[in-house]
Amino acid sequence: MTSQLNVDTIVDKAGSGGSNVKMANTSTYVSEGGNVTQNTVQGLAKSWANFNGEGTAAILDSINTASLTDSGTAKFSINFSSAMANVYYVFTGLAFHSSASGFDDAVCISRDNTQLSSVSTTVNPFYTMRVEGNQELKDCKENMVTFDGDLA
Amino acid sequence: MASLLKVDALQGITAAGDITVTSEGGAATQSLQQGLAKAWNNINASFTIQDSFNVASCVDESGTAPNTYTINMTNAMSNTTYMAFGTAETSGQAPRNIGISSPATSSYLVSCCVSNSPSSGTSVVGNTAVLGDLA
């Protein structure tokens, strides 16, 4: 029998506002406009990270990240704690390179052919490269990446 | 003792499309629905969908520009001002960017670019995702 729960707010049992609510992967939600339903779990970002890529690279904030690997100038890997279901998860991100004098230029996040072969359900390699100017690999202070897809 | 709630659908009482969740820090509440990605997709150089959510089809627009395609969504957005973003990846080391244009409630155009123009190279994989309100 299909069940429906009408509720305005979800909190944990203690009522303290914690994040202890567990949701089945078949859960759906009603759209903002009220016209359709979609799967709730598939709409959640499965991992994201804000990291500093300069000097000793370090994750500043994140979810579902076991570690950040620094493989040389501007080459990194985000290693997931919980694996994705396949290697076709959606990887998006941005970075910005700031020079000592302040504003410098935009930086893209992408992968080269050697990194593409290393993509796995738990390891996501990528590089950061200046878009204009020398178009060189560049370590950036500000890096933000997100991952959408299905967890295993 | 931990409790387990089994349910197939979540719906707000005040408004069907508005369930709030308490923030991780406990200081705020936000809409659950508005925080969810409404679509995401991974498209290869042959314009084949490798994995996706709420995507009906990917249409080859390379006749207009190289590595350009239209993403058609199954469930429509409520307006054309939603946020779509992405990353392009390919063999070879160069600046890769995603350009997103022509946003409609059920589709948007994606161009995988090298620096500031659509790439004529091969093996481009485009990753895009959508945030905003569904209709």
Question: In which band, very low, low, confident or very high, does the pLDDT at B57 lie, cut at 50, 70 and 90?
Answer: very high
Task: Give yes or no: residues B51 and B17 share one domain.
Answer: no
Check B18 against A40: CB less than 8 A apart.
no
Look up residue B130 and give its two tokens: 């959508």
Q: Predicted ipTM?
A: 0.82
Closest residue of chain B to A9, computed from CA coordinates: B20
Closest residue of chain B to A119, computed from CA coordinates: B89
Does the pLDDT at position A92 exceed 80? yes
Check A4 against B11: CB less than 8 A apart.
yes
CA atoms within 13 A on the CB side of A83: 8
**A3 strand-pairing partners:** none
Does the pLDDT at position A24 exceed 70? yes
Distance from CA of A20 to the nearest CA of B (A): 9
Query: Are B28 and B21 contacting, i.e. CB atoms less than 8 angstroms apart?
Result: no
| Domain range for A63 | 45-148
Look up residue B91 and give its two tokens: 């063999």
| Domain range for B13 | 7-36
| Rounded distance between C-alpha atoms, residue B50 and residue A20, angstroms | 33
Task: Give yes or no: residues B67 and B24 share one domain.
Answer: no
Type of residue at A43: G
**Per-residue pLDDT reduced to its tens digit, A37-86:** 999 999 999 999 999 999 999 999 999 999 999 999 999 999 999 999 99
Check A30 against B11: CB less than 8 A apart.
yes
Task: Give yes or no: residues B116 and B50 share one domain.
Answer: yes
Closest residue of chain B to A44, computed from CA coordinates: B36
Look up residue B6 and give its two tokens: 């089994």
Task: Give yes or no: residues B64 and B14 share one domain.
Answer: no
Task: Give yes or no: residues B32 and B42 share one domain.
Answer: no
Closest residue by Cα to residue B7 from A123, A145, A7, A5? A5
Most confident of A18-22, A97-101, B116-120: A97-101
Does the pLDDT at position A18 exceed 60? no
Distance from CA of B63 to the nearest CA of A (A): 25
Of B7, B75, B91, the CB nearest to A113: B91
CA dihedral A65, A69, A70, A71 (to 10 degrees): -140
Q: Which residue has the higher pLDDT, B57 or B28?
A: B57
Question: In which band, very low, low, confident or very high, does the pLDDT at B4 lie, cut at 50, 70 and 90?
Answer: low
What per-residue confidence (pLDDT) applies to A102? 62
Transcribe B10-27 into DSSP letters. Answer: EE-SSSTT--EEE-TTSS
What per-residue confidence (pLDDT) applies to A51? 96
Task: Give yes or no: residues B30 and B42 share one domain.
Answer: no
State the best of A38, A63, A77 to mutate against chain B, taking most chain B CBs within 10 Å: A38
What per-residue confidence (pLDDT) applies to B118? 67
DSSP reduced 3-state for A113: helix
Does the pLDDT at position B120 exceed 90? no
- What does the mean pLDDT of chain B come to? 86
Task: Give yes or no: residues B57 and B102 share one domain.
Answer: yes
Residue whose entry in the numeric block shows the structure tokens 């509720």: A7
Task: Give yes or no: residues B48 and B64 share one domain.
Answer: yes
Question: In which band, very low, low, confident or very high, does the pLDDT at B26 lie, cut at 50, 70 and 90?
Answer: confident
What per-residue confidence (pLDDT) applies to B20? 80
Query: Are A84 and A152 contacting, i.e. CB atoms less than 8 angstroms apart?
Result: yes
Query: Do the domain assignments include residue B1?
Result: no
Q: How many domains does chain A have?
A: 1
- What does the mean pLDDT of chain A come to? 87
Check B75 against A39: CB less than 8 A apart.
no
Task: Give yes or no: residues B26 and B81 share one domain.
Answer: no
- Give A 13-52 residues with CB within 8 A of chain B: 13, 16-22, 24, 26-40, 42-45
What per-residue confidence (pLDDT) applies to B102? 94
Check B26 against A17: CB less than 8 A apart.
yes
Task: Give yes or no: residues B58 and B100 share one domain.
Answer: yes
| Rounded distance between C-alpha atoms, residue A101 and residue A85, angstroms | 44
What per-residue confidence (pLDDT) applies to B22? 76
Of A10, A24, A45, the CB nearest to B21: A10
Does the pLDDT at position B6 exceed 80? no
CA atoms within 13 A on the CB side of B26: 7
Q: Which residue has the higher pLDDT, A117 or A36?
A: A36
Most confident of A33-37, A123-127, A140-144: A123-127
User: Which chain B positions have a beta carbon within 8 Å of A62's beta carbon?
Assistant: none
User: Which chain A positions have a beta carbon within 8 Å of B29's beta carbon?
Assistant: 9
Question: Rounded mean pLDDT of B80-84?
Answer: 94
